[in-house]
Amino acid sequence: RRGRAGRIRRSPDRLFGGSTIASTLVAQVFAERTLWQRIEPATLPLLYDPALGDITVVLVPGIYGELFDGELWQRGLRSVRERLGVRTFTVRADGRCSAAINAGTLRQALRDDTRRRLERGYRTPRYLLIGYSKGGVDATEALLADSALAAKQIAALVTVATPHLGSPVAERAELPAPLLSWASRDTIPTACAADGAAAPSLFPATRRAFWAEHAETIGTRTRLFSIAFVSDVHDAHPWMK
C-alpha cells in the first residue's frame, strides 16, 4: 500500500515470502502501541529537593529505536521537565547504526546545542546523559572520544538497561535489513547499512575488548551510574521477543 510519504510499501507477508511470523510480529507491536497510549509515567515522590541549575537532560535512545513507539519516552521527558524544571532533548541517533557512528552523532548534537545556547546569551550548558539500552554504549563511547566535552560539560552519565558486557541476543537475533527498512519510514543511513550496523556493537566480544582497553580511562571522564532491571520474558516488548 502507499505510505505517508507516498512510496509504495509492501505487506510484511509479501516481503518475507508469505511467512506468518512477520504478520504476527507486526500485529503484536501495534497492539502494544495502543496499550502504551493509555500509560502515563508513574508518579513517584521526590526524595530530595533538586537544585539542578543549568542542567540539560539528554536522552540517547537504544537499538532499533525507530521500531518502538516514542510516545512513552516523550511523556517521560515531559515529566522530567515539569517536576525538575530542567531542559530536555532527545538525540536523533539512528537505532540501526553502530556505537561509533552514534557516538559521533551525540557529540555533534551537544556541540550544536551548546553553540545555539551561547548565541542566545545563555551560559555554557551542562548535560546529564541518560542512555537507554545501546544508547548507554553509544554515550560511553562518546565520552571516550571527547575528553574536553566530558570534563567540562557532562555532569554524569546514567545508563538504563545497558548491556555493557554485550548481549548474546545481538549475536543470535540480529534483525535483517529488509525488516528494518520495511518497519521504519526512515531510510537506513548509508554508513550504517553494512559495516556500520548496530548489532555488532553489542556483541560480547566487542564489549569485552572495549572495556579491556578503556575501563580505566572511562572512569576518569565523569560520574557514571548504571541502572538495570530483571523482568520475565513474557513482559518483553514484541520486537525483543
Question: Is the overall model pTM greater than 0.85, yes or no?
Answer: no
Give the distance between the most distant pair of CA atoms in the chain: 58
pLDDT (tens, 9 = 90+) of the chain, 241 residues, equals 444 554 445 554 555 555 677 777 777 777 776 666 555 555 666 666 667 778 999 999 988 777 666 777 888 888 888 888 889 999 988 888 899 999 999 999 999 999 999 999 999 999 999 999 999 999 999 999 998 999 899 999 999 999 999 988 887 766 666 666 666 667 777 778 766 788 889 999 999 999 999 988 888 889 999 998 777 777 766 666 6
For residue 67 the three cell numbers come to: 521500531
Can you tell me which residue has the cell 529488509? 178
CA 139, CA 141: separation in Å to the nearest integer? 5
Q: Cα angle vertex 95, ends 165, 83, to 5°?
A: 90
